[in-house]
């Protein structure tokens, strides 16, 4: 039981930070567009990565650090592009709607924001994997935290809908998302 709670707590401390994936899940939840699919993609991806880490694949990634470098550059470019799209939305309030009819492919975006983000690998495969080191109940706790977080974020976002009935709130949200995405993208490209 201790490993389960440790895994849950450790994952919660890692996952709650505002990042590309969380900002996207929040936005989809507010728009009520493909929320279940986006939450499922994020939670399933975390489950796979946590299992890989607990199984000991972090050692393989440490032996081939170029994989993280490649993921950082590709992920950084993707985040820059997504950040500039968010900035454009912030300056075009007519394009911001809660009704879920906005264009785009939310599932593909969720996949890209998850699998092209090197921080996901660092957190789940390396960090959690090195802490868990074959302790599967720790991994179960971490996966449970991930599912809990994404469900709460994606489906709980609708509680903020009255606030986001105003175009100004969408502009602020998209401005914050743009700033986070662009700064993460630049950090990833410059840091690797």
pLDDT mean for each 10 residues of the chain (192 residues): 87 79 89 95 94 77 70 76 83 55 76 84 77 83 95 93 82 83 81 66
Please report the pLDDT score of residue 45 as a whole number: 95
Show the DSSP H helices in 16-162 as ranges: 20-31, 35-54, 58-63, 66-90, 106-115, 118-120, 129-132, 136-156
Please report the pLDDT score of residue 122 as a whole number: 75
User: Buried (b) or exposed (e) across 114-140, using 16+ Cβ within 10 A?
Assistant: bbbbbbbbbbbbbbbbebbeebebbbb
State how far the Cα of 133 lies from the Cα of 153, in Å rounded to an integer. Answer: 29
- How is 16-51 classified by DSSP, letter by letter? SS--HHHHHHHHHHHHTSSHHHHHHHHHHHHHHHHH
Please report the pLDDT score of residue 36 as a whole number: 96
Please report the pLDDT score of residue 35 as a whole number: 96
Please report the pLDDT score of residue 156 as a whole number: 93
Please report the pLDDT score of residue 14 as a whole number: 78
């Amino acid at each position: 039981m201790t490993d389960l709670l440790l895994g849950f707590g450790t994952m919660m401390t890692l996952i709650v930070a505002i990042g590309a994936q969380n900002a996207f899940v929040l936005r989809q939840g507010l728009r009520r567009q493909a929320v279940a699919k986006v939450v499922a993609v994020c939670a399933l991806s975390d489950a796979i990565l946590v299992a890989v880490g607990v199984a000991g694949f972090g050692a393989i990634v440490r032996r081939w650090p170029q994989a993280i470098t490649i993921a950082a550059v590709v992920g950084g470019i993707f985040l820059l592009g997504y950040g500039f799209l968010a900035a454009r939305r912030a300056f075009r309030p007519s394009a911001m709607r809660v009704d879920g009819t906005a264009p785009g492919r939310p599932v593909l975006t969720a996949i890209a924001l998850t699998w092209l983000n090197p921080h996901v690998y660092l957190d789940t495969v390396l960090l959690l994997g090195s802490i868990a080191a074959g302790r599967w109940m720790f991994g179960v706790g971490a996966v449970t935290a991930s599912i809990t977080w994404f469900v709460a974020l994606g489906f709980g976002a609708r509680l903020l809908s009255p606030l986001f009935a105003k175009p100004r709130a969408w502009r602020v949200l998209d401005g914050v998302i743009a700033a986070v995405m662009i700064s993460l993208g630049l950090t990833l490209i410059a840091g690797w």
